[in-house]
């Protein structure tokens, strides 16, 4: 029964993703793809004073990839860069409500986190200030 709830959550975020689109103001962006299955994700971020103020994504992919990106954007808004950069596999699985995925599906689920971290690194605001 619980698995059905999580499947519904994934399908809902796949069909109606949160924070899908572009930011009017951004100071970081990144894009990557999973060459094995064709998932492709772009992230845009607005970082101020060490916090992820806003985040959006676009892309095409399987339900796991798009749901993972959607849920991730909800989870990271307002968090410190340090907190976001510390996220890993366990956090992504918890967001999706899944205990385990096959290695190929894990790549789909982790792609959004990888791209989000790349966008944060690419953000000038995320870099330490030079003295």
pLDDT of residue 37: 87
Domain boundaries, given as residue ranges, for the chain = 2-125
The pLDDT tens digits for 49-92 are 999 999 999 999 999 999 999 999 999 999 999 999 999 999 99
Catalytic pick among 37, 75, 101, 106: 37
**Per-residue pLDDT at 130 exceeds 50:** no
What CA–CA distance (Å, rounded) separates 49 from 79? 11
The pLDDT tens digits for 91-108 are 999 999 888 888 899 999
Query: CA of 30: how far to CAs of 26, 59, 117, 126, in Å?
Result: 11, 12, 9, 14
Tell me which of 6 and 66 has the higher pLDDT.
Answer: 66
Catalytic pick among 23, 47, 65, 108: 108
The answer to whether residue 37 is catalytic is yes
Tell me which of 71 and 128 has the higher pLDDT.
Answer: 71
What is 55-106 written as a DSSP string?
EEEEEE--HHHHHHHHHHHHHHTT-BHHHHHT--HHHHHHHHT-S---HHHH
pLDDT of residue 116: 98
Query: CA of 67: how far to CAs of 25, 50, 128, in Å?
Result: 24, 26, 32
- Split at pLDDT 50, 70, 90, the class of 125 is low
CATH (residue range 2-125): 3.90.1010.10
pLDDT of residue 30: 97
């Amino acid at each position: 029964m619980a698995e059905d709830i999580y499947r519904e959550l994934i399908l809902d975020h796949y069909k109606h993703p949160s924070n899908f689109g572009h930011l009017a103001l951004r100071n970081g962006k990144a894009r990557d793809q999973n060459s094995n299955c064709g998932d492709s994700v772009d992230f845009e971020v607005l970082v101020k004073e060490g916090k992820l103020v806003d985040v959006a994504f676009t892309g095409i992919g399987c339900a796991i990839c798009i749901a993972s990106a959607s849920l991730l954007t909800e989870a990271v808004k307002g968090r410190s860069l340090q907190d976001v950069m510390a996220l890993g596999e366990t956090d992504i699985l918890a967001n999706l409500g899944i205990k385990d995925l096959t290695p190929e599906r894990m790549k789909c689920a982790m792609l959004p986190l990888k791209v989000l971290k790349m966008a944060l690194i690419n953000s000038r605001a995320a870099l330490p200030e030079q003295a």
